[in-house]
Structure 1
Amino acid sequence: MLNFRSIRWKIAALVAAVAIVLSALDLWLIPDRTARASEAELRERAGILATMLKEPIGVAMDLEQPPDTFPDTLRTAMTDPLVSWVSVYDAKGARIAAIGAVQAPGSPAGAQGGDDGSVVVSEAPIRSRSGDRQLGTLAVGLRSDRIAQRRADARRTIALQSAGIMLLGLGLAWVISARMTRSMAHIKEAADRIARGDVSARLSLRISGDELGDMASAFERMNTQLRELQETASRVAGGDFTCKITGDGELFAAFRAMVASLQELATRIGNTSSEVASAAAGMFSSVREQETTANQQNAALEEIRRTVEALTASADHIAKDAATVHEMAQRSLVSVQRTAKQTRFVSTHSDRIGEILSLIQSIADKSDLLALNAALEGTKAGEVGRGFSLVAAEMRRLSEHVMDSVRDIRKLVADMHAASHASVLATEDGIKLARDTAAAAAKISDAVDHQREGTARVKTAIVDIVGAVNDTLTSSADATRSAESLLQLSHALKATAKTFRVKPAGAKREGPAPAIDEADADEEPG
């Protein structure tokens, strides 16, 4: 695939452009110069003919010969194939004789004005033999088609020469550019290898005496210096800071400064690695102790939290029991009050029953007295009143039974009244006891509520403390891991520092120095 952007095509295009410009200039300038040279040649030729003819024509005109004799003299000029016409004009400018293939102009001014490119006109003045006066003018016109032919021939020749020169130039440019592109391709390949970081081998570039050779030589030197830098960098990467860096320039100076800084850094690392390990071990031990203390505090707080939760549960049970007792006391108070009310109602009705019994006893006494009187009257009546006496006797028995029942009822009512009075007293004591019980249950409930609130606050505080302790434990664990990692890194740093080889302090010679020997760090606790 053709790459028209390559330098070969650019050089070829440049050569072609130069050749085209030069050919255009030649085609523009040389044919015109050739035409002007041909025109000057024709004018010179016509002038020579006019000079040759003006002498005999002048003699004839000086002798005042008739113009009819002039054509014989003028006909000698027609032997030149380029002569188009020959004409003689008198002193006034009138044509007096002419000969030629075309009609000659009627005046010298017309002859000069007729120079339109097809005829080249040359005039010669005709003077008298004494030379004191001008007898006329002789004009010769030559065909100028030869000028156009020469111009065309010149253009064709220049075009062929330009084409040949262009082809030759393109060939030379192609060959030269091919050599340049091959050299530049080798340089590009070398630059690509250097860009990929491959500076391990020589480039083997062709060194010529031109600028490309100078560039190749510069690439060779650059590759050599980069290879030396790579070897030095490999030794530095392996921990050898004793290598000597040669070369000039800012890059090598910066590399030497970098190696010196790395050497100083390695020395500092070796000097501080043991201190870092010791400090890390101490910090690790301290953090472990803090973690142990925090674990103990966490266990104690967890036990306190469980105790507080048990107290809270007990307080909840006590509060529930107190609420139950208070409710039962309230119900007992209501029941006792209802019983007292019923007892008072019974006592009141027992008094009413006593009154009724007194009335019944009074009626029974009167009935007994009436029955006694009726019995007496029946006895008095004899046989007639015997039935009435029997009725009176029954009434007396009934009255006696009624009085006996009244006495029994009175006794029962008295007992019931006494029992009601005792029940009222007991009910009042029960009411007082129920009220005292309800008040005590309310006080217990309030106390339990206060205790529960206090226990809840204590529990919340303990939970916060436990959370803080857990955060402390987490931080301690993180700190422990960090301290352990720091301790491991310090040991690794110390081991890495031992691999570096640096120049001893005050050393003047190049060469490997003994490895850094630092004291071992304290052993990791636990």
Structure 2
Amino acid sequence: MDASNNILVRSIAIIGGLDLLVSIQITFVVGVIDLVSLPIFLGLMAGRALTWAADLFMVLRPVRAWQHDPTALGEAELRQADRSLGTVGRRFIGGYVAGWAACMSLAIIAGRQGLGGLDLLGAGLFVGGLVPIIAAIIHPLFAYLLLKLRLELTAQLRERQILVERMPGSFIGRQVVIGMALSWGVVVCMLGLGLMVWSDGLRAETTATLRGDVALAAARVDAGRDPSGDLDSLALVTAAELPTQLTNALAPGELGEPARVAIDRSQSLVLAAAPLADGRWVYGTRVVDEQLPLVVLLVVVFLAATPIPGAVGHWALARLTSLPLARVAEAARSLATDGKVRSFRRLGALHDDELGELVANFNKVLDVFDELATAATTVATGDLRVRIEQPGDLQDAFRAMLAQLNEVVARIRETSLELASAAMEIQALTVQQDEAAQEQAASVRQVSASVSNLAAAADDIARSAGIVLSNAEQAYETTDALVEKSSELDRQVSSIGDLLGLIREIADRSDLLALNGSLEAVRVGEAGRGFALVATEMRRLAERVTGTVDDVRGRITQIQGAGAGALEATQASRALVQGTAEAARAISKVTREQSIGTEEASGGMVAVAQTVNAAAAATSQTRAAAEGLRVHATALERLTSRFRLDDDVLDS
């Protein structure tokens, strides 16, 4: 079967067995079968059993879910399972006891026609006493069934650090209630049974008396004697006049037997009849004197008075039981609150029983704590040579702690000595390092200042190189324009030379024409004299033009020569200016790169200076820390020298 159903199966098996046992006892002791038929009684019991089993199945559902997979439930489900385990007892017991009360009440109601007043009172008292008895038995039994589960669930809740609230209660109160329920229930049940037995005794006594009277009267009638004195409460009747109770009571073949009786329980009436020889019957009735009002009064007084001594007795017994527990609880609470183990008074055992054993064991626990506290006090003074001989996990842990503490203190002592020596060496080194760092910082500051000046000079050079490059580029542009103008002038001069050649050719032709005109004028004579003068003048003009042209050509030749020299010089200057511009451009580029590099170098030197200054400061701090380390190491060595270690540790 699945493990999740174990609690349900165990509960049904145990409670069902108890249920069956109680049912059998009620059936045969009380005689319920005499009141109701067996099928009705079995039906009531079966219905009640199914009802409480179904109720148990429902109330245990959260518990079975937790038991099926304890690790899969969340905090809410675990809280619900804990609440279910805490309330399942009260809920189930209430329904279970109510089921018993209902079944017994229904059985009494169904058979009330066959019960007299005392019978009803006795049966009611029996049922009323049975209810607290069942409750007092089933409550601790059911709590015991759930005890293991509650312990497991509580451990899981503590492991997962889930806080749950517990319903407050009192051990004494529970013991008093359970004890009173048992004792008062038993007394009431016995009282009910006693009333039913007493009722049966009264009926038996009345029946015997009436039977004797009827038989005696019948014998006298058959003997022919006068029965008038005996028939005061009797009557002579025929068989047809007999009540049905007596008729049904006479079985075939029993007519010749002595008097027969019948009992009407509901009326508390006894009927008797004795046969006569002539076929008639002597018939008589008699009421059972139950004295019901007096009995009810006595029962009320008894029930009202019984709980008082029972409550006092059970309270005293519970108090006697709980007092040692309360003393142990108070001692544990005081121990947990104050923690004063060594001055704590030991408890005294009043009896040699389980409670006495509990007190003795608690005193032993206090002895263990006292020994550990004494050992801890000794260790606190610096003496680690403590010996604890008793076995146990706590003692083993304390012994392991002492061993570790011995070893740790020994190592700390050795380490403190080494640390003090190393701290002195570190301090000496840090002093030298501090001095070197200060010198290095001063050198770096000087280099940083030089690099800063170099960066400023590089900036000036870069600006000057930029100006030179700008002038060189402007000169290059001017020279280039001059070369263009010189080339243009040479071209213009060349065109002037061509024009002069044309003028000379015209002058030569004019001179030739003037010469021809003069010859023609001479040939003409006086008529051509004016033309001759014109021709002569034209010739002189042509000669002057020719001379001027030659002069101009010479000058142009000189100009061309000078222009060619100037052009050559200008081109040479252009080439020189171009080279100068290229050089200036290269110088500017180099100076810019140098300026950038110098600035980077200056920034790097600043960073180096900062680093060196920080290193110097850190070195100073290291020096101070080394001094502090030496002081603390010396103090630690003095502190560890206060401990008195175990010889085994010192030897190792």
Question: Normalising TM by the smaller chain, what interval?
Answer: 0.5 to 0.7
1:389-400 residue pairs with structure 2 within 5 A? none
Residues 1:349 and 2:491 are matched in the alignment: no
Q: Deviations over 1:236-264 (max 9, x none)?
A: 13422244557665434542443243223
* Residue number in structure 1 paired with 2:223: 59
Deviation at 1:341, TM superposition (A): 2.2
**d(CA) in 2 for partners of 1:236, 1:137:** 112
* Residue number in structure 1 paired with 2:329: 188
* Residue number in structure 1 paired with 2:122: none
**d(CA) in 2 for partners of 1:177, 1:112:** 56
Larger radius of gyration: 1
* Residue number in structure 1 paired with 2:264: 116
* Residue number in structure 1 paired with 2:298: 157
Residues 1:171 and 2:317 are matched in the alignment: no
Amino acid at match of 1:412: R
- Matching residue within 186, 197, 202 for 1:33: 197
Residues 337 and 427 of structure 1 are in contact (CA less than 8 Å); yes or no, is this contact kept in structure 2? yes
Shift of the 30–299 alpha-carbon distance from structure 1 to 2, 3 Å rule, reads farther
Comparing 161-170 with 216-225, which one deviates more in the overlay?
Answer: 216-225
* Residue number in structure 2 paired with 1:240: 383
**d(CA) in 2 for partners of 1:341, 1:306:** 54
**d(CA) in 2 for partners of 1:208, 1:278:** 66
Shift of the 314–282 alpha-carbon distance from structure 1 to 2, 3 Å rule, reads same
User: Which secondary structure state, in structure 2, belongs to the residue aligned with residue 417 of structure 1?
Assistant: helix
Residues 1:7 and 2:171 are matched in the alignment: yes
User: Which secondary structure state, in structure 2, belongs to the residue aligned with residue 251 of structure 1?
Assistant: helix
Deviation at 1:444, TM superposition (A): 6.4
Is there any run of 5+ residues in structure 2 with no aligned partner, and where?
Answer: 1-166, 252-258
**d(CA) in 1 for partners of 2:322, 2:450:** 91
Residues 333 and 435 of structure 1 are in contact (CA less than 8 Å); yes or no, is this contact kept in structure 2? no
Amino acid at match of 1:50: V
Shift of the 57–195 alpha-carbon distance from structure 1 to 2, 3 Å rule, reads same
* Residue number in structure 1 paired with 2:638: 495
Shift of the 261–445 alpha-carbon distance from structure 1 to 2, 3 Å rule, reads closer
User: Which secondary structure state, in structure 2, belongs to the residue aligned with residue 271 of structure 1?
Assistant: helix
Residues 214 and 272 of structure 2 are in contact (CA less than 8 Å); yes or no, is this contact kept in structure 1? yes
TM-score (norm 1): 0.64
Residues 281 and 487 of structure 1 are in contact (CA less than 8 Å); yes or no, is this contact kept in structure 2? yes
* Residue number in structure 2 paired with 1:209: 351
1:115-134 residue pairs with structure 2 within 5 A? 115-117=263-265, 118=267, 119-122=269-272
Amino acid at match of 1:157: L
Residues 1:263 and 2:411 are matched in the alignment: no
Residues 347 and 421 of structure 1 are in contact (CA less than 8 Å); yes or no, is this contact kept in structure 2? no
**d(CA) in 2 for partners of 1:56, 1:430:** 191
Residues 319 and 448 of structure 1 are in contact (CA less than 8 Å); yes or no, is this contact kept in structure 2? yes
* Residue number in structure 1 paired with 2:558: 415
Residues 23 and 158 of structure 1 are in contact (CA less than 8 Å); yes or no, is this contact kept in structure 2? no
Residues 237 and 283 of structure 2 are in contact (CA less than 8 Å); yes or no, is this contact kept in structure 1? no
May I ask how many residue pairs the two structures share in their alignment?
464
Residues 261 and 273 of structure 2 are in contact (CA less than 8 Å); yes or no, is this contact kept in structure 1? no
Deviation at 1:13, TM superposition (A): 1.8
**d(CA) in 2 for partners of 1:392, 1:232:** 162
Amino acid at match of 1:121: L
1:336-375 residue pairs with structure 2 within 5 A? 336-356=482-502, 358-359=504-505, 362=508
User: Which secondary structure state, in structure 1, belongs to the residue aligned with residue 306 of structure 2?
Assistant: helix
Deviation at 1:176, TM superposition (A): 4.7
* Residue number in structure 2 paired with 1:251: 394
Shift of the 435–261 alpha-carbon distance from structure 1 to 2, 3 Å rule, reads closer
* Residue number in structure 2 paired with 1:335: 481
Amino acid at match of 1:201: S
Deviation at 1:38, TM superposition (A): 1.0
Higher RCO (CA-CA < 8 Å; seq separation 6+): 1
User: Which secondary structure state, in structure 2, belongs to the residue aligned with residue 338 of structure 1?
Assistant: helix
**d(CA) in 2 for partners of 1:485, 1:371:** 135
Residues 211 and 260 of structure 2 are in contact (CA less than 8 Å); yes or no, is this contact kept in structure 1? no
Residues 375 and 393 of structure 1 are in contact (CA less than 8 Å); yes or no, is this contact kept in structure 2? no
Amino acid at match of 2:336: A
User: Which secondary structure state, in structure 2, belongs to the residue aligned with residue 143 of structure 1?
Assistant: strand
1:61-140 residue pairs with structure 2 within 5 A? 72-76=226-230, 78=232, 85-87=234-236, 109=250, 115-117=263-265, 118=267, 119-122=269-272
Is there any run of 5+ residues in structure 1 with no aligned partner, and where?
Answer: 61-69, 127-133, 507-515, 517-526
**d(CA) in 2 for partners of 1:424, 1:341:** 7
Shift of the 18–4 alpha-carbon distance from structure 1 to 2, 3 Å rule, reads farther
User: Which secondary structure state, in structure 2, belongs to the residue aligned with residue 209 of structure 1?
Assistant: coil
* Residue number in structure 1 paired with 2:211: 47
Residues 237 and 280 of structure 2 are in contact (CA less than 8 Å); yes or no, is this contact kept in structure 1? yes
Deviation at 1:10, TM superposition (A): 1.8
User: Which secondary structure state, in structure 2, belongs to the residue aligned with residue 499 of structure 1?
Assistant: coil
* Residue number in structure 1 paired with 2:147: none
Residues 374 and 392 of structure 1 are in contact (CA less than 8 Å); yes or no, is this contact kept in structure 2? no
Residues 515 and 535 of structure 2 are in contact (CA less than 8 Å); yes or no, is this contact kept in structure 1? no
Comparing 344-353 with 239-248, which one deviates more in the overlay?
Answer: 239-248
Residues 86 and 141 of structure 1 are in contact (CA less than 8 Å); yes or no, is this contact kept in structure 2? yes
**d(CA) in 2 for partners of 1:223, 1:326:** 108
Deviation at 1:73, TM superposition (A): 0.8
1:382-461 residue pairs with structure 2 within 5 A? 405-406=548-549, 408-434=551-577, 436-437=579-580
**d(CA) in 1 for partners of 2:648, 2:359:** 43
Q: Percent identity?
A: 22
Deviation at 1:43, TM superposition (A): 1.6
Shift of the 115–494 alpha-carbon distance from structure 1 to 2, 3 Å rule, reads same
Shift of the 325–298 alpha-carbon distance from structure 1 to 2, 3 Å rule, reads farther
**d(CA) in 2 for partners of 1:358, 1:285:** 111
TM-score (norm 2): 0.54
Residues 493 and 560 of structure 2 are in contact (CA less than 8 Å); yes or no, is this contact kept in structure 1? yes
Q: Deviations over 1:410-438 (max 9, x none)?
A: 44323322212222322332344345556
* Residue number in structure 1 paired with 2:112: none
Deviation at 1:104, TM superposition (A): 11
